[in-house]
Amino acid sequence: MFDEIMRKFADSPSQQRVIRLLLERGFSVNDDGRVVSGGIEIPNTGIARELDVDRRVVDATTDAILEDDELRPIFQNISAIPSLMDLAPVLDLTVVTLTVSDAEASGLVADVTAAIADAGLSIRQVISDDPEFSDEPKLYVITAEALPGELINDLRAMPFVQKIQIE
């Protein structure tokens, strides 16, 4: 799906950057062509400044979204979810980041969370990047406690785990 969306903006790398930002941040586009997070409007000038593009690029992108029958329902229904990842150091939580070989394989989340639960740890949040929308999707597990070495070794030994990072 991500590739199909990006192909629609293949002639404009700047518009592709706007699309990527909307998807990554969970920003939607309302009927007026304004970028919003819930009911809060995000000024196009702020988006343009973040991406180092002209504000008119953001305007043209949101106009194109509203004019496209396939894109409109996608971008009008996106929503952001709160993440504990940035708060983890403040709340004394542990973030486990797993890079996997095949993010579309079934059972990855179940295997990882089962191993953590079997170790008696409390999981506060699980977030997985959608392989359709991410170039290198990852699985993030936020736990209330630090992971013991044996559990880290068990996770690392899972056949689909390419890399594990603990913060």
pLDDT at 163: 94
Name the fold adopted by 88-166.
Alpha-Beta Plaits (3.30.70)
pLDDT at 55: 96
Contacts with 95 (C-beta within 8 Å, 6 or more apart), sequence order: 84, 85, 88, 140, 141, 142, 166, 167
Over residues 21-28, the mean pLDDT reads 93
Out of 84-93, 102-111, 147-156, pick the least confident: 102-111
Over residues 142-147, the mean pLDDT reads 96
pLDDT digits (tens, 9 = 90+) for 59-91: 999 999 999 999 999 999 998 888 999 999 999
Over residues 133-159, the mean pLDDT reads 92
What is each CA distance from 6 to 9, 66, 114, 148, 162, in whole angstroms?
5, 15, 36, 42, 27
Contacts with 144 (C-beta within 8 Å, 6 or more apart), sequence order: 93, 94, 121, 122, 123, 124
DSSP, collapsed to helix, strand or coil, labels residue 17 as helix
Contacts with 48 (C-beta within 8 Å, 6 or more apart), sequence order: 54, 55, 57, 58
Average pLDDT, rounded, for the chain: 93
Delimiting residues of CATH 3.30.70.260 domain(s) in the chain: 88-166
Tokens of 103: 């993010």
Out of 35-44, 124-133, 138-147, pick the least confident: 124-133
Phi, psi angle pair for 69, to nearest 5° = -65, -25
Beta carbons of 139 and 109 less than 8 angstroms apart: yes
Cβ neighbourhood burial of 143 (10 Å; 0-12, 13-18, 19+): buried
